[in-house]
Copies of this chain bind each other. A is one copy, B any other.
Amino acid sequence: MRSVCVVGLGLIGGSVLRAAAAAGRVAWGATASDKDAEAARQDGYDVVGLAEALERAHEQDALVVVAVPMPAVEEVLRALPEGVRLTDVVSVKGPVADLVERVAPHARYVGGHPMAGTAASGWTAGSGTLFEDAAWVVTAEDEADLDVLTDVVELALAAKAHVVPTTAAEHDAAVARISHLPHLLAAVLASVGADGGPLALSLAAGSFGDGTRVAGSRPELVRAMCEGNRSALLDAVDDALGRLGAARGSLASTGGLAKTIEAGHTARLALQNQPPLTDLTIDLTAPDAHAALRRLGSRGGRIVGLNGTTARARTP
């Protein structure tokens, strides 16, 4: 089992360190936050300075997991030893890949994104079970090092997540639609409702409560997440504006909303009634492994286990 070095010990990084240690890995961490470092040490975890953590990663050929906020990623990348095994848990993948290419092209990098909650923050908010049953995205571009990719898959499975392989661009486009746009629409809906004054809020029930729930998340985290995925989010917002504008036009002209409401209903049913999954194996040493992995992800499939270098997958 490969050793794991986690840089950044907030909600996600702290949970990765706990999950790796719980799975029996040699694991240590570093953080710029004295508070998180102190709390992690008190919980019995091995926390050292950044230079020492990376030096040890170099000696043990460990997997380095970058778990700092996007603005702090570059500084960590600049400190990396030559040829390090590298992944990250940042919620946007294209910009991180670009930064690695520019600042640490020597690193053997495979991007990652465990799709777990963001409402709380800091070491104390984390948990070794945060990733259970969650999707953990792994980027499988053609140039991805399959040995490091296997390390990341092992780590994700050790944390009891399942792995969804895709490209950075497809990841960013998908999360813009299913995570960042929902946050933006929740904010818009909350404001339009509040514009209706105390009467409107006193009548608000299920649909308004559900539709605005994530507007209660910490605004600085929501902003960082949405603004960090600007280009893909613009596409998703344009789709939403187009569909809402079409509904507006139809309501104003014919009075009908059939197309909008029925398309939304069909789409929601597709989410609720996902197709049954069948088993599949992917040889991670095969020459076409990258393409096979990406195909799996784009069909809605996932890796659920590893036998040596063979991935056990489930796919619709």
A244: chain B residues within 8 A (beta carbon):
184-185, 188, 237, 240-241, 244
Is A35 part of the contact surface with B, judged by Cβ < 8 Å? no
Q: A162-173 interface mask toward B, CB cutoff 8 Å, 1 = contact, 0 = none?
A: 001010001101
Contact of A264 among B135, B191, B299 (CB under 8 A): B191
Closest to A299 in B: B198
Known: A189-B182, A210-B214. A204 touches B271 (CB 8 A): yes
Chain A, range 156-199, C-beta contacts under 8 Å to B: 164, 166, 170-171, 173-175, 177-179, 181-199
A237 CA to B270 CA, complexed, in Å? 26
How many residues from A make CB contacts under 8 Å with B? 98
A9 CA to B292 CA, complexed, in Å? 56
Is A227 part of the contact surface with B, judged by Cβ < 8 Å? yes
How many monomers of this chain does the complex have?
Answer: 2
Q: A205-232 interface mask toward B, CB cutoff 8 Å, 1 = contact, 0 = none?
A: 1111111111111010011001100100
- A185-B175 in contact (CB<8A): no
Closest Cβ of chain B to A96, distance in Å, is 17
Contact of A182 among B182, B187, B207, B274 (CB under 8 A): B207
Closest Cβ of chain B to A175, distance in Å, is 6
- B267-A205 in contact (CB<8A): no
Closest to A218 in B: B265
- B230-A265 in contact (CB<8A): no
